[in-house]
Each structure stands twice: as structure tokens, then as C-alpha cells.
Structure 1
């Protein structure tokens, strides 16, 4: 199996740009990873990852911290652990709707400057979907724009939400997208925007993408307005390869692409910066707090298992990543053990046991 690079090798770090890169300290040396189990059904899923890692004797060990979405802030000891370990595996945290409570997911991205969100949406063999030949990577700017939560009440009944776009952040996300495409033999990068209306903000984002594109002549570059992008995704998704987006659009595009390719329960993802990386389910879970799924213990572990394979590859343990990825894909392809969202009726543990049985 070919090794897919989510992060560039050391030579790229030195000569091209600063992104997360973790050199292995020695063959087989175990690496500490901060683990946040998450809310609702998600601890079932993070426990599944722990079981599989133990079964395959992966050279990682977890430092586990309880963090919940209703906390006001990410605990300092958790931030210290991620800064020390450089790598985190995170279950979904419930984001309160309204009430002025900030999302802990957004806090983590800001505190650690995790400027790039990476979601890989692709067809899994054996999992029926409306479209075939889907293999889309959504690279989303993670630190500014509408989604960064800069809001205030001007006077009672009037609220301003600020959209801030900078040249610096737009350029570095464009560089990440093009470098990812170059390293992974991708052919095209598509910039998603609404510059026909937000001419200054999204115009600056497009200007930055165009400048970076000139430095990668072997990669085709094009642009698409976000509303047309959504229509094209649901009608002809195979036309897209790597997509680079501002913050809010990326969240919508990644979830749409995930739904087309098999659902949010099977899409891996990560959030990376110059020093740290946090791996988690690639697209919004949507069922973080569903009590019935929790009670029946039927949460889908596939997305986080595939995100864990991304993490292993990032830590420079590609053989372990390939074993895990192959085992998960084999279980999905065989179709005997699947959770309800994938058309089956298996429990989380039954899927985990099947993955473990297929590791070799």
C-alpha cells in the first residue's frame, strides 16, 4: 500500500515552509500522545482506538485527560501536555449552541495555532454511496474568518460577528494546500470563495492563493464560488481533488463531501500547526450526545481509527499506519460488522474485535 503523506518530510520543513513534523526518536521508541476521550458517545470510540493500538503493539502510549464541551476553558494541564507531546488524539467535544459559551474546539486551535484543518473524503470499498471515484482533500484555514467566534453585542438586540481575513493566514493555508498536493501527487487545487460579494475579504484570500499557485506550475489551479461549489459537490464530486477554503466555508464543504463519500462516521481528519497536531474525526459527528447510541454502545469507530492511522503516519510509523488502515478497510469491505449508520447493526466492540482480527 502506498504511503499517503499528510505532512512533509524534514527537507520540506527546512526549505519550503514550517509545518508540523515529528521525526521519530529511534526505531520502535514509544511516543507519548495526549488523549481527550470527548463527550457523549465518543469515549466508546476513543476506547476502541486504545484497544486497537494495544493489540497491534503500536509504539505510542496515551496521557488521558477528561475535557468536556461545557467547560469554560481547556484546562491548562491539557494544553501543557499537548505542547510537550506535540501530538493529540481527540474525541468530539459538544459545542454549546448560543449562550455566549466559546467552543473548546476553537479554543484549542487558537491556543496551539492549529492553522490547517485537513479532511480526507473518499469512497471506501464495499460501502455503497451515490457517487464513485470520490477522493477529495479539504484544506481549511482554521484560525480566522467568521468561524473564529469574534462577536460582540453593540447595543441590546444588535450583534456584530467579525470576519477577519489576513494576507499572512491566507498565504500559509494556500502554501499548505499546494505543498500537500505536490507531496501526494495530486493534480489540482481548487480555491473556494465568495469574492463576488465579499470582494475585499475573500478577494484577499483569492489573491494569496493565486500568488502561491504560480510557484507550483505542475499543479492545476482553479476557483469556485462556494454556493456553486456545493451544487457541484452533490452532482459531480469526482471533479474535485484538493480544495482550499477559508474557515467557515471549509466546515460546510468538508461535511458535504463527507456525506457524499460515505458519511461523517468514516472520514479521518487532523488539525495542524507549526509545532502541534491534533487528530480527530474529520467531519462533524452530529451524534455526540445521542443517548440511545450511547446506551446501545453502537458508536461508529471507523473515522477515529482512520484518523489514528494518520497520526501514526505523522509520527513516522508508516508500517503501523498501513496495518491499521488495511484492517479497517477490510472490515468495511467484508460488510459483516458495521454500525447502524453504515447499514449494519453491530456494536462498537464488535467492529473493534473485527478490526483487531484483521490486523495481520
Structure 2
């Protein structure tokens, strides 16, 4: 009798386990892992910024991302609608992380402060390091494929020091500031980045053959820091040669470090190699704050309301932000969804040779999730 009961109990247990396993196989991975919610500052920016951020919100909602956005609108071309810079800075400092669209800088100068809103934001927060990770998109072929390199630039001094004056009528002096302190800091950041991400080489980009003191100091600082990292290969390259090398043989690059202006030039040049301005993510770091935005610096205002822009770069920036706040699961979930949409080739925006709209691309990512 006891043996019969034991046998019956075991059979019931096996049946229950089999049922649970079958049930678990039919239940997808939960899109929202148990975690505390994070507050992130969002600055939509000008031009297409608000539309792109709307797409991010749709994707985050579909993926169950535990993030709440504190939205603050900043603009230099729409001053009547813009919040104060101090409000945005206080939010970034309090939250420690932000997602930002492109803030348009007017090209004309009508008197007043030379330092733009972007410059003041970076100076106030000391966002000294700009990082743009240039990668080929899986399934999307360009002239050069399998690219994977990083452009790091110092962005609080250099050619964007906003120190200009008219010494005599018709003669303008524009000062480029290079300091040892900030050159050493960005060089160390670049080598630390290479070490953390298992990169093998750092290339310092300069124009020290002409600007012997300014770029010469930057180059010397890079050489001093390189000596502290013997396992990482170090090379130098003049900026004009670097541009030529990038379009002819970009595979030679790994991590690149440079002053501000050269970084902006190479960021946009490199974006063109992997699909254009709409596909490359970027980020900026200070000691305490990280802000994630597109790798290019163009708001594409002429496309507002036309539903034609490529949201890939903004979505990948948002994924990098999620990694930064240790939401790796959600970051991978969204990044893989974006990759699947691009690899399928069914929905591609005009810049990628397709006929898909922004909203169709976002919908395809949500569906893929």
C-alpha cells in the first residue's frame, strides 16, 4: 500500500514538473525585470529632436523600461519657449544622466554673448569628453564594412573657446586655448577607455606641424600619458592626413583622441562611412554627469513634420544610456530589435536607400520587441 502511494505521488510530481516546463516554454521573457525606477533628464532639442524623443518614449514603453523622464526644453532659436540654462543644469546634476537632442546654434552674431548655449552647458557641467562610437550596422552595406572605432574629443576648450575680438576694424582675432591640465585629462580618459573596452591602439590627431605650441602641447601630453600604458599601441596623425586615411582605410583606427574642432569634423566624416548622420550615437562625460545624444551635431530642422528622419542614432544613444545606468537587459532588448529591423531590410528610411517613414521604423522596432 505504501509503495503504491509513493509511486502515485512521484507520477503526479513528474506530471506537474512536465506541465510547468511546457508552460514556461510558452511564456516569453518578461520585458520588465524587477528593478527600481530611474529618473533621467530629457532635453528634446531643436529641429527633429522632439519627434525623435517621442519615438524613444514609444520604444521604452513597449520594452517596459523602468525610466521616468524629466523633460526640459532648451533652445537658442526659440528663446520664448526655452527653460533657463540653470534649470537644465540643476536637473542634470541631480539625476546624473540625461538624453539630449541637438540644440541648434545660430550662425549669425548680432551682438551679446559669444558663448553658445551648447558651450555654456558643457562648461557648466564640465562635460570634457565627447565619445562617438562608429560601427557598421549589421545587414546594411556601405563602401567600407565591419568598421568599429571610437572618436574621443575634448570639448571644453580648443577651437571652441569663444574668445574672439576685433583688434582693429576688419581684423578679427580668434583664440584657440590648449591647456596642459585638460589635455592630460582627455588623454588619460582615452587610454582608460581603451583599457576598459579591450582596445589595442590610441591615435592622437593634431596639427602640431603648424600650431607648434598649442597642438604641440596637446601632442606632448598624449605622449606622456601613452608611456603609462605600455600595452596599448600609440600613434600620432596630422588631421588633414587623418581625414584622407579615414575615407581610404578606416579599418586602421581603433580609439582616436583629439581637440574639439577636429573631433566635430571627424565625427561627421565617420558617420558618412556607416550610413549617415542618423545612425551614429554619441555621449558626453564629466566627472559626475553623462549625457547621451546623437553623434552628429545637426538638428535637421528642414525635415520637421515630414516623417522621413532615421531614428537609429537616437535609439542607440538611448541604449547606451541604459547600459550606463545598469539596465543592460533593456538596452540589449532594444538594440537587438533595432538590429533586426535594419537587417530585415523591409523598413528603411530614405537616407538608407529605402522608402520607410520615421513612424514606420519605430513601429517596426516596437513590433520586433
| TM-score when normalising by structure 1 | 0.89
Deviation at 1:115, TM superposition (A): 0.2
Kindly indicate whether residue 112 of structure 2 is the aligned counterpart of residue 97 of structure 1.
no
Q: Is the 8 A contact 1:177 1:244 kept in 2?
A: yes
User: 1:146 aligned to 141, 151, 159, which one?
Assistant: 159
**Matches of 2:206 and 2:43 in 1, distance apart?**
33
Residue number in structure 2 paired with 1:31? 38
Residue number in structure 1 paired with 2:172? 159
**Matches of 2:84 and 2:284 in 1, distance apart?**
16
Q: Which has the higher contact order (CA 8 A, sep 6+)?
A: 1
Kindly indicate whether residue 249 of structure 2 is the aligned counterpart of residue 236 of structure 1.
yes
Residue number in structure 1 paired with 2:318? 308
Residue number in structure 2 paired with 1:333? 343
**Matches of 1:77 and 1:295 in 2, distance apart?**
28
**Matches of 2:248 and 2:297 in 1, distance apart?**
22
Deviation at 1:184, TM superposition (A): 0.7
Residue number in structure 1 paired with 2:19? none
CA distance 1:227–1:311, change in 2 (3 Å)? same
**Matches of 2:272 and 2:325 in 1, distance apart?**
29
Higher Cα Rg: structure 1 or 2? 2
Residue number in structure 2 paired with 1:298? 308
**Matches of 2:214 and 2:34 in 1, distance apart?**
47
Deviation at 1:212, TM superposition (A): 0.9
Residue number in structure 2 paired with 1:200? 213
Q: Is the 8 A contact 1:298 1:340 kept in 2?
A: yes
Q: Is the 8 A contact 1:191 1:223 kept in 2?
A: yes
What is the SS of the residue equivalent to 1:218? coil
**Matches of 1:92 and 1:74 in 2, distance apart?**
17
**Matches of 1:321 and 1:152 in 2, distance apart?**
46
Deviation at 1:237, TM superposition (A): 0.4
**Matches of 1:135 and 1:316 in 2, distance apart?**
23
Unaligned 5+ runs, structure 1: 1-25
Kindly indicate whether residue 330 of structure 2 is the aligned counterpart of residue 351 of structure 1.
no
Q: Tell me how large the CA RMSD over aligned residues is.
A: 1.6
**Matches of 1:52 and 1:73 in 2, distance apart?**
26
User: 1:62 aligned to 69, 72, 75, which one?
Assistant: 69
User: 1:85 aligned to 90, 95, 111, which one?
Assistant: 95
What is the SS of the residue equivalent to 1:146? strand
Query: Which string of whole-angstrom CA distances, capped at 9 and with x for unpartnered residues, describes residues 183-230 of structure 1?
Result: 111111000000001111111111111111111111110000000000
**Matches of 2:311 and 2:215 in 1, distance apart?**
36
What is the SS of the residue equivalent to 1:351? helix
Matches within 5 A, 1:173-192: 173-192=186-205
Q: Is the 8 A contact 2:280 2:313 kept in 1?
A: yes
What is the SS of the residue equivalent to 2:301? coil
What is the SS of the residue equivalent to 1:29? coil
Deviation at 1:149, TM superposition (A): 2.0
**Matches of 1:52 and 1:77 in 2, distance apart?**
27
**Matches of 1:102 and 1:115 in 2, distance apart?**
16
**Matches of 2:289 and 2:51 in 1, distance apart?**
25
Unaligned 5+ runs, structure 2: 1-32
Matches within 5 A, 1:314-325: 314-325=324-335
Deviation at 1:74, TM superposition (A): 4.8
**Matches of 1:54 and 1:43 in 2, distance apart?**
17
Residue number in structure 2 paired with 1:288? 300
